[in-house]
Amino acid sequence: APASGETRQARSTAQYRALDAAHHIHPFSDMGTLNRTGSRVITKAKGVYLWDSDGNQIIDGMAGLWCVNVGYGRKELADAAYQQIQELPFYNTFFKTTHPPVIELSALLAEITPAPFNHFFYCNSGSEGNDTVLRIAHRFWSAQGKPSKKYVISRKNGYHGSTIAGGTLGGMGYMHEQMPSKVEHIVHIDQPYFFGEAEGNLTPEEFALARAQQLEAKILELGAENVAAFIGEPFQGAGGVIFPASTYWPEIQRICRKYDILLVADEVIGGFGRTGEWFAHQHFGFEPDLMTLAKGLTSGYVPMGAVALHDRVAKVIVENGEFNHGLTYSGHPVAAAVAVANLKLLRDEKIVERVKTDTGPYFQKLLRETFANHPIIGEIAGTGLVAGLQLAEDPKARKRFANGGDVGTICRDFCFNGNLIMRATGDRMLLSPPLVITRGEIDEIVSKAKKAIDATAQQMGLS
């Protein structure tokens, strides 16, 4: 394959597609179908905009995959990577060594995270972060003479990654079906998805409380002496931007404390400003023992993940001998240097603050005004710069489409054709733009989303 190394050579869209179809297997894709239609080839990006190989300008309503928090094209991050590659492109952090970028990053994370988080373990992704969570949770209990505390409880329709452990922790049945085996000692309870799953006349608060209490029932079923941890995304991202009512997390926290179970917040999407707080658990008002971090940590410019340890967990890990876990690229110097530059932008340019006080409230209000009484919008969930729009056949009766996933795909395709990236999870349409988005760009996203959703309603005969 002589031409394969020439990645910067400009080719026609048709040439790119032919090579892509011939040699590249995409994640979570039906490659037979994709190869027949061809992928969109994204060639460059700036701010909140992408360009494809045909020169179309597309507004990115998803910040890549919920990760490009500072927007595309920030020179500060390019410079940090360039300098670090010249100075020390790699050194490991095994065998009694360390290096300045990982030290600076750890000290900065200790400042940015809530006060009890002062220790960080690094990896390359959210999935590896959750693998690490399992290792830390087990080590935490076994070091204290409680090795039977092994079970980790998570939720159906949660997403925690695609390694075997991440995929098992997640509650996506279609992923479980394709696994040769699952990690043991992982069980699931129901999700707090009011629109889709509440029955009878329960209020959202009553429903969320009942769903949280499933945790207590599960702990009692397994025996608290056998349960290590509960893990959840403060709001479910890939599952459809599902926001639990205010009663949910305080009850989960109460139950974890009562039975001495570690509470893990998977902050891979929620972390680094998405909700207008630095971390989504702060929005929901609870305090986890461990946090999984990735995505916004580097704004996706280079891969990096981390686990943040609460002092009470860190103390046990630090004081009990060797922790037999690590990755070649744990604390990679280039990733760490980019993360430091990224976090400084988020902090010093007051990007997170702006999401909380200005762009977040503006975005949420505009969505709610624009889609008030819309014939196929049943619910708008979200805060800050993340939102989930529920498509529904009869919004007032909370009646979903029988073929919801198809309706979502139809809507997603209308967005695509209108040069807006919006993601569909089943029958929910998702938005999670870069945090640097301006009010004018928010107007553009919402008006393009309105056009696509109107067109979807028309196609369904419901406009």
Judged by CB under 6 A, how many residues of this single chain contact ligand PMP? 16
Using rule CB under 6 A, residue 237 touches ligand PMP: yes
Are residues 339 and 103 in contact, defined by beta-carbon separation less than 8 angstroms? no
**159, 193, 249, 286: which one contacts ligand PMP (CB under 6 A)?**
159
Could you tell me the smallest distance in angstroms from the CB atom of residue 236 to ligand PMP? 8
> Quick one: 209 or 307, whose CB is closer to ligand PMP?
307
The residue (of 337 and 430) whose beta carbon lies closer to ligand PMP is 430
Binding mask 58-87 for ligand PMP (x = CB under 6 A): -------x----------------------
> What's the closest the beta carbon of residue 332 comes to ligand PMP, in angstroms?
14
**Spatial distance between the Cα atoms of 452 and 407, rounded to a whole number of angstroms:** 11
Out of 81, 105, 229, 268, the only residue in the binding site for ligand PMP (CB under 6 A) is 268
- By the 10 Å C-beta count (0-12 exposed, 13-18 middle, 19+ buried), 324 is classed as exposed
Q: Contacting ligand PMP (CB under 6 A), which of 61, 71, 101, 126?
A: 126
> Shortest approach of ligand PMP to residue 256 CB, angstroms?
19
Q: Does 294 bind ligand PMP (CB under 6 A)?
A: yes
285, 250 Cβ separation under 8 angstroms: yes
Q: Give the single-character DSSP code of 357.
A: I
Q: Is 432 in the site for ligand PMP (CB under 6 A)?
A: no
Contact segment (CB under 6 A) with ligand PMP among 119-127, 246-254, 313-321, 373-381 equals: 119-127
Q: In the chain, how long is the greatest CA-to-CA distance?
A: 66
Element housing 388 (H / E): strand 386-391
**By CB under 6 A, residue 266 contacts ligand PMP:** yes
In whole angstroms, what is the distance from residue 262 CA to residue 133 CA? 10
Site for ligand PMP in 190-229 (CB under 6 A): none
The string of DSSP letters for 181-213 reads S--SSEEEE----HHHH--TT--HHHHHHHHHH
Residue where the block lists tokens 């929910």: 428
The four Cα atoms 319, 320, 326, 332 give a dihedral, to 10 degrees, of: 10
Residue placing its CB nearer to ligand PMP in the complex, 27 or 321: 27
Nearest distance in Å: CB 327, ligand PMP: 13
Q: How far is CA 298 from the centre of its chain?
A: 13
The bridge status of strand 420-421 relative to strand 57-60 is: parallel
Q: At residue 257, what are phi and psi to the nearest 5 degrees? A: -65, -45
Interaction between residue 161 and ligand PMP (CB under 6 A): yes
Binding span for ligand PMP by CB under 6 A among 143-151, 183-191, 192-200, 266-274: 266-274
| Window contacting ligand PMP (CB under 6 A); options: 76-84, 122-130, 175-183, 426-434 | 122-130
Q: What's the closest the beta carbon of residue 163 comes to ligand PMP, in angstroms?
A: 7
Cβ-based neighbours of 362, under 8 Å, separated by 6 or more: 439, 442
Shortest Cβ 387–ligand PMP spacing (Å): 16
Among candidate residues 251, 238, 93, 117, the one with its CA nearest the CA of residue 171: 238
**CA gap 31, 22 in Å, rounded:** 10
Task: Tell the smallest beta-carbon distance from residue 166 to ligand PMP (Å).
Answer: 6
**Does 238 sit near ligand PMP (CB under 6 A)?**
yes
Asked if residue 244 binds ligand PMP (CB under 6 A), the reply is: no
- 233: nearest Cα among 247, 248, 219, 223: 248
* Nearest C-alpha neighbor of 193 from the set 142, 151, 235: 235
Q: How far is the CB of 159 from ligand PMP (least distance, A)?
A: 5
Please report how close the Cβ of residue 161 comes to ligand PMP at its closest, in angstroms: 3
Residues of the shown chain interacting with ligand PMP in the complex, contacts defined by CB under 6 A: 65, 125-127, 130, 159-161, 166, 233, 237-238, 266, 268-269, 294
